[in-house]
């Protein structure tokens, strides 16, 4: 019976909107407002608010005003008002124990909001959905289907957290705690209830008193009576500040249990009588039946059987009237014991038979629940899956209709935007390529001027015959250069051939002052390419600033490889090194090198913009243990293919 009282509190907390105590006066005020209201939507909202006020006191009035709201909301096609009406009708069915009907009303809320409202992200709409989900959780709790109850409470809690609705968050946390309490998981229950009360105290929520009561009950069931008393006292203080007869009645019952445990019979009797008076004033036979039973049991324990008799008889009458089998079972047993103590054997035996029948009914009901639980879960999941599929199909049909109407306009807009974007990207790429070609054209005269200077020097130093041989190689190199200067990329094999010719020319010019080698990794594919004359300036620098100033012969190594999705080119020499070269080179040479290096850096920047990949250059001086060992230039380029 105590567990059922918990569920009553849970319904009160979970399905309410903002709580307004002093329900009857509030309901009367709202009814007065109806007489001065002409707008239909306002009327629907008032009907629903009035129904909310009667939720815990007058189920018939709850149903009457909820039905009025449903009829009018349907007539004027007001989905949000209709959803609220469904919640109130579901609460009415829940109070009457019509769980399947209650579930159907609560599930209609989500369907109605999904199909009728465009702005489902509106916090008020989301909170209405969350209320329906929490109400579904109440139904599952009533049916002892705690797994499903927790699932729906968590869904509701997530929505309330998204909308930052602290009042509803605290209610959800409270109700999750009650579900864990019903599962006898007191540790988990206490954790959630304390989270709830922390939020409620922060926002000064009137339902704080109810949550404090629930925490006190958990401590009481743990036999920790002092903390239980402290929480009861805090709750009582808050109840005295708010007109909440249901909460006060429930707390009075728990105070009676506490005083009885402490063997303070007079205080226990006073607390139970207070609870009874409050329940009777609300016409709440459910709570009154328990209070009457507690008073009768207290008198029976004191062997005051004549005093106990009318209370237990009235408790039984209430329990039978509202169909609470659990309370009828306890009342029949107590009546049998009282009649036995009064030596009225026949009456005692009759009530004992009723007690046994009630006990068997409860046991059969529990067994049936256990056997039916798996089937019920399967059926619920099956129905939910079918309903979800129907909703999905309906949403898809609606979506296709909308898309069909807007399809041509959307396609035209997308095609236009795509064409504009493509045109802009093409123009950007063409500009970058023209900049690349312009820089390349700057490199051509730089390269030619250097070669002509080399020929002039070669003729002076070596004579006519050697100069003719040099000119022959030079013309071959120039043809190769001009042939590929029109494109933005040159194949790797042609770049190697060009570098081979250039290095052979420079060998002739400087009388084999250096040896060279060019290698290419198997990872380098035949159709890979690089911009023309990108590597030549670094080879030229290696010769002029590394090999020429060096005493003795040197070695230049050029290598091509692919590492980590990048094309790597290294030019390594064992010349005098960077620091010594800077001290020796002439001003004109410095100008040439500076020009070539600056142009190359700019070409790499443009390459990065075209390919959207990294293009970097690294120049480092090599050292061995005793002296400078030369220079290494590393180019890290994006891999590009020649179409």
CATH number for 195: 1.25.40.10
Nearest to 152 by CA among 179, 134, 129, 170: 134
pLDDT: which is higher, 425 or 616: 616
Rounded to the nearest integer, the mean pLDDT of the chain is 80
State the average pLDDT over residues 135-155: 85
Quick check: is 503 in a domain?
yes
Quick check: is 206 in a domain?
yes
pLDDT bracket for residue 561 (50, 70, 90): very high
pLDDT for the residue 254: 93
Q: Is residue 331 within 8 Å of residue 315, measured between CB atoms?
A: yes
| Rounded-to-integer distance, Cα 186 and Cα 254, Å | 17
State the average pLDDT over residues 345-367: 81
Instruction: Provide the sign of the torsion angle of the four alpha carbons 401, 406, 408, 410, taken in this order.
Output: negative
- How many domains are contained in the chain? 3
Tens-place pLDDT, residues 499-553? 998 898 888 878 888 999 999 999 998 889 888 878 888 898 888 888 888 888 8
Residues 80 and 195 in one domain: no
State the average pLDDT over residues 37-66: 83
Q: Is residue 92 within 8 Å of residue 56, measured between CB atoms?
A: no
pLDDT for the residue 490: 86
pLDDT bracket for residue 423 (50, 70, 90): low
CA 410 to each of CA 101, 119, 420: distance values in angstroms, whole numbers, following the listed order: 44, 21, 15
Which CATH number fits the domain that encloses residue 536?
A: 3.30.565.10
pLDDT for the residue 395: 77
For the cut 90, the answer to whether the pLDDT of residue 559 exceeds it is: yes
Residues 80 and 184 in one domain: no
Residues 61 and 170 in one domain: no
Quick check: is 202 in a domain?
yes
Residues 491 and 541 in one domain: yes
Q: Which two tokens stand for residue 14?
A: 């979970």
Residues 61 and 192 in one domain: no
CA 583 to each of CA 143, 223, 556, 590: distance values in angstroms, whole numbers, following the listed order: 94, 93, 21, 11
pLDDT: which is higher, 496 or 584: 496
State the average pLDDT over residues 406-415: 80
Tens-place pLDDT, residues 362-409? 776 555 555 545 454 455 456 556 666 777 788 788 788 888 778 888
Residues 535 and 586 in one domain: yes
Which of residues 110, 143, 176 is at a domain's end? 143
pLDDT for the residue 510: 82
Q: Is 243 helix (H, G, I), strand (E, B) or coil?
A: coil
Tens-place pLDDT, residues 225-261? 999 999 999 999 988 887 778 888 889 999 999 999 9
pLDDT: which is higher, 424 or 338: 338
Neighbours of 77 (CB within 10 A): 9
Residues 77 and 207 in one domain: no
Quick check: is 266 in a domain?
no
Which of residues 143, 177, 204 is at a domain's end? 143
State the average pLDDT over residues 446-474: 68
pLDDT for the residue 463: 63
Neighbours of 22 (CB within 10 A): 13
Q: CA torsion angle for 441, 447, 450, 452 (degrees, to 10)?
A: -90
Dihedrals phi, psi of 282, to nearest 5 degrees:
-90, 0
Judged on CB neighbours under 10 Å (0-12, 13-18, 19+), 19 is middle
pLDDT for the residue 50: 86
For the cut 90, the answer to whether the pLDDT of residue 568 exceeds it is: yes
Q: Could you say which DSSP state residue 575 is in?
A: S
In percent, the amount of the chain with pLDDT more than 70 equals 80
pLDDT for the residue 379: 53
Q: Could you say which DSSP state residue 569 is in?
A: E
Give the containing element (helix H, strand E) for 329: helix 325-341
Residues 486 and 604 in one domain: yes
Of 131-145, 156-170, 446-460, 487-501, which gets the smallest average pLDDT?
446-460
Q: CA torsion angle for 160, 189, 225, 331 (degrees, to 10)?
A: 100
Q: Which two tokens stand for residue 79?
A: 């989905």
Quick check: is 564 in a domain?
yes
| Rounded-to-integer distance, Cα 495 and Cα 472, Å | 19
| Rounded-to-integer distance, Cα 268 and Cα 298, Å | 8
Quick check: is 268 in a domain?
no
Q: Is residue 480 within 8 Å of residue 494, measured between CB atoms?
A: yes
Quick check: is 337 in a domain?
no
Quick check: is 33 in a domain?
yes
Of 1-15, 384-398, 421-435, which gets the smallest average pLDDT?
1-15
Which of residues 176, 211, 237 is at a domain's end? 237
Residues 94 and 124 in one domain: yes
| Rounded-to-integer distance, Cα 40 and Cα 514, Å | 100
Instruction: Map 71-122 to HEC letters.
Output: HHHHHHCCHHHHHHHHHHHHHHHHHCCCHHHHHHHHHHHHHHHHHHCCCCCC
Structural domain boundaries enclosing 104: 20-143
Residues 544 and 630 in one domain: yes
pLDDT: which is higher, 5 or 561: 561
Using the structure block, give the residue that is written with the tokens 């306002």: 42
Q: Which two tokens stand for residue 399?
A: 């979506």
pLDDT for the residue 594: 52
Residues 110 and 224 in one domain: no
In percent, the amount of the chain with pLDDT more than 90 equals 19
Residues 85 and 207 in one domain: no
């Amino acid at each position: 019976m105590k567990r059922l009282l918990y569920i009553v509190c849970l319904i009160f907390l979970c399905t309410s909107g903002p709580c307004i105590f002093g329900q009857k006066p509030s309901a009367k005020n709202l009814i007065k407002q109806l007489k001065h209201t002409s707008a239909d939507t306002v009327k629907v909202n008032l009907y629903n608010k009035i129904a909310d006020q009667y939720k815990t006191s007058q189920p018939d009035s709850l149903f009457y005003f909820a039905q009025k709201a449903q009829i009018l909301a349907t007539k004027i096609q007001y989905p949000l008002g209709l959803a609220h009406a469904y919640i109130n009708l579901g609460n009415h069915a829940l109070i009457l124990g019509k769980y399947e009907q209650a579930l159907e009303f609560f599930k209609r809320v989500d369907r109605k909001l999904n199909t009728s409202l465009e702005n489902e992200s509106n916090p008020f709409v989301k909170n209405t959905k969350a209320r329906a989900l929490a109400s579904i959780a109440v139904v599952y709790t009533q049916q002892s289907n705690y797994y499903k109850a927790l699932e729906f409470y968590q869904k509701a809690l997530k929505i309330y957290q998204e909308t930052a609705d602290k009042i509803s968050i605290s209610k959800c946390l409270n109700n999750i705690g009650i579900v864990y309490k019903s599962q006898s998981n007191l540790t988990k229950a206490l954790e959630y209830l304390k989270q709830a009360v922390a939020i409620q105290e922060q926002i000064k929520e009137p339902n704080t008193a109810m949550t404090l009561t629930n925490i006190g009950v958990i401590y009481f069931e743990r036999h920790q009576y002092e903390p239980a008393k402290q929480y009861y006292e805090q709750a009582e203080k808050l109840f005295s500040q708010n007109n909440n007869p249901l909460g006060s009645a429930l707390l009075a019952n728990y105070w009676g249990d506490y005083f009885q445990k402490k063997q303070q019979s007079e205080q226990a009797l006073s607390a139970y009588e207070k609870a009874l008076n409050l329940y009777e004033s609300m016409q709440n036979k459910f709570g009154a039946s328990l209070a009457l039973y507690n008073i009768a049991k207290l008198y029976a324990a004191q062997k005051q059987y004549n005093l106990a008799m009318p209370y237990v008889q009235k408790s039984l009458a209430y329990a039978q009237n509202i169909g609470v089998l659990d309370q009828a079972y306890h009342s029949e047993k107590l009546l049998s014991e009282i009649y036995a103590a009064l030596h009225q054997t026949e009456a005692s035996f009759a009530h004992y038979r009723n007690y046994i029948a009630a006990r068997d009914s409860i046991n059969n009901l529990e067994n049936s629940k256990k056997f039916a639980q798996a089937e019920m879960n399967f059926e619920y999941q099956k129905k939910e899956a079918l309903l979800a599929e129907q909703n999905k199909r309906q949403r898809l049909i609606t979506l296709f209709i909308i898309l069909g109407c807007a399809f041509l306009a959307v396609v035209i807009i997308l095609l236009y935007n795509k064409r504009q974007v493509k045109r802009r990207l093409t123009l950007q790429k063409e500009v970058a390529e023209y900049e690349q070609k312009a820089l390349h054209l700057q490199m051509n005269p730089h390269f030619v001027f250097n070669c002509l200077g080399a020929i002039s020097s070669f003729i002076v130093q070596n004579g006519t015959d050697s100069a003719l041989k040099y000119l022959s190689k030079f013309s071959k190199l120039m043809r190769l250069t001009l042939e590929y200067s029109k494109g933005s990329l040159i194949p790797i094999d042609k770049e190697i051939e060009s570098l081979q010719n250039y290095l052979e020319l420079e060998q002739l010019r400087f009388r084999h002052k250096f040896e060279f080698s060019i290698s290419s990794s198997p990872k380098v594919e035949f159709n890979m390419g690089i911009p023309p004359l990108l590597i030549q300036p670094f080879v030229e620098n290696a010769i002029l600033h590394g090999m020429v100033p060096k005493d003795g012969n040197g070695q230049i190594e050029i290598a091509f490889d692919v590492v980590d999705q990048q094309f790597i080119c290294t030019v390594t020499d064992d010349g005098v090194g960077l620091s010594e070269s800077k001290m020796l080179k002439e001003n004109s040479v410095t100008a040439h090198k500076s020009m070539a290096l600056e142009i190359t850096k700019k070409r790499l920047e443009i390459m990065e913009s075209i390919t959207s990949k990294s293009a970097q250059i690294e120049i480092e001086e090599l050292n061995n243990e005793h002296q400078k060992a030369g220079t290494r230039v590393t180019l890290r380029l994006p891999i590009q293919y020649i179409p």
